[in-house]
Structure 1
Amino acid sequence: MTSLTSAGWAQCSSARRTRSDASGKELATGGSCSIGEDDARSRQDEDYDDEGDSKETRLTLMEEVCLLGLKDPEGYTSFWNDCISSGLCGCMLIELALRGRLQLEACEMRCKSILTRKVICKSDAPTGDVLLDEVLKHVKETQLPETVQNWIELLTAKTWNPLKLHYQLKNVWERLAKNLVEKGVLTTEKQNFLCFDMTTHPLTKNNIKQHLIKKV
């Protein structure tokens, strides 16, 4: 009886060590930030299959955040929301990591915090998305790797270094809204606010936004 119990404990301990070693190797190689594009897209396909939505409406992560930040039924984001640009740029970095284009540098002997690890280019293959390819080009061509926080500051032009202002992404919200219009999720209208006209993008497919809200 004692020998069987000891053997059982030995097997359990061995299994735990194996799982721990596998997890450690994954983190050390930045596995959490280099998920394959096929895996990411297959998860997205499953979500849409469950809800019965059309597979033709594929949204990127930044398009989903853009859609969630849209005021209904007005079709615009809050004038006072200064964080949306930073959030969208962060989503672009995550989307590129999900597609296998970017990853964090590997941990050294002294485990670095995820905040201090640099973003490096894993693959420069085009994604087919203009915004994502623009960010990928910046990361690839930079001489010294930057952290995620630094890249968000560079992409949103919230940097004091005038030599790095060329990294700024311009008209991010407008370009994402245009993508959503082309996909039939939003439409374009002109509304009058006091003394000036403003371009708005009301929803045409409310079920897609409701599906995103349920996911969150």
Structure 2
Amino acid sequence: MTTLTHRSRRAEGRSTDRKPTGEEDAAADRDLNDEDPDDSKDIRLTLMEEVLLLGLKDKEGYTSFWNDCISSGLRGGILIELAFRGRIRLEPPSMRKKRLLERKVLLKSDAPTGDVLLDETLRHIKATEAAESVQTWIELLTGETWNPFKLQYQLRNVRERVAKALVEKGILTTEKQNFLLFDMTTHPVSNGTEKQRLVRRLQESVLERWVNDPHRMDRRTLALLVLAHSSDVLENVFASLADDKYDVAMNRTKDLLDMDPEVEAAKAKGTEMVWAVLAAFNKS
């Protein structure tokens, strides 16, 4: 069970408004679909959409009622997606704040991304008078805070909004199901090919294409493995594998997730936010 508890922190650091360079924008565009030349016709999905798609039951169209981790995982995905798109970054390490969870999230650009959830989060980050850490932002966006003055930062109906985006992309459909005492809107998978392609990509990343070095992995694939673990949907990724391959995939993923986020983040700035999100969930 993954829950994030709110911890008060002294307000330090202010966000900056530097616009992303053309090079950063181009890199962000490539990040949306740079996994494999053979997958160039894939529908472009955000990390949040991929996490939810992995967690959904195909025919039923909803996530497990026992999964209370996916809400926080989706918020972590929002922060990573914004970092990949050049909108936010971690403040540089200093003598007083070396560790990932001590460093604040800073605004690089408030330029709209075109995604409702990402843009809403950007507005929240811009509106804060004092910068907050990755762990605190996940807590605030999830609504896990005892501070009534910060409840305004909670993102509401995130699963439903991500599901609707997948409906618009033709991957899910919308239905009504009766659960005795209430009716619930569900979103069964209508385009199974896209989900199968996503699952296959993750399986291959830890089997046929395993590189045994996170810094040689595609960073969106690395982020998705971290988020799938944090959202408790990783089992869904490997469930279809034969027993021997399942064991290999799970062991390699465990080795990856057991790496020290502090050490790995120092090796490559392009994945700092990924390791910071993993550090936040490891601490929870």
Smaller-chain TM-score bracket: 0.7 to 0.9
Verify: 1:173 aligned to 2:188, yes or no.
no
Residue 48 of structure 1 deviates from its aligned partner by 5.9
Q: Secondary structure at the match of 1:47?
A: coil
Q: Secondary structure at the match of 1:214?
A: helix
Q: Secondary structure at the match of 2:101?
A: coil
Aligned partner of 1:65 in structure 2 is 51
Aligned partner of 2:170 in structure 1 is 184
Aligned partner of 2:26 in structure 1 is 38
Q: Within 2, Cα distance between the matches of 1:198 and 1:92? A: 25
Aligned partner of 2:108 in structure 1 is 122
Aligned identity (percent) is: 63
Aligned partner of 1:210 in structure 2 is 196
Instruction: Report Cα offsets for 1:150-186 as digits up to 9, x if no partner.
Output: 0011011100111101001111011111111011110
Instruction: Report Cα offsets for 1:129-160 as digits up to 9, x if no partner.
Output: 11101100111110111000000110111001
Q: Secondary structure at the match of 2:184?
A: strand
Number of paired residues? 181
Q: Secondary structure at the match of 2:166?
A: helix
Q: Within 2, Cα distance between the matches of 1:111 and 1:118? A: 9
Cα root mean square deviation, aligned: 1.9
Please show how residues 41-190 of structure 1 align to structure 2 within 5 Å: 41-47=29-35, 49-51=37-39, 53-54=41-42, 57-109=43-95, 112-190=98-176
Aligned partner of 2:247 in structure 1 is none
Q: Within 2, Cα distance between the matches of 1:133 and 1:44? A: 16
Whether contact under 8 Å (2:33, 2:40) holds in the other structure is no
Segments of 5+ residues of structure 1 without an aligned counterpart are 1-33
Q: Secondary structure at the match of 1:45?
A: coil
Whether contact under 8 Å (1:37, 1:98) holds in the other structure is no
Segments of 5+ residues of structure 2 without an aligned counterpart are 1-20, 203-284
Residue 82 of structure 1 deviates from its aligned partner by 1.1
Q: Secondary structure at the match of 1:100?
A: coil
With CA pairs under 8 Å and 6+ residues apart, which has the higher RCO, 1 or 2?
2
Residue 116 of structure 1 deviates from its aligned partner by 1.2
Residue 128 of structure 1 deviates from its aligned partner by 1.0
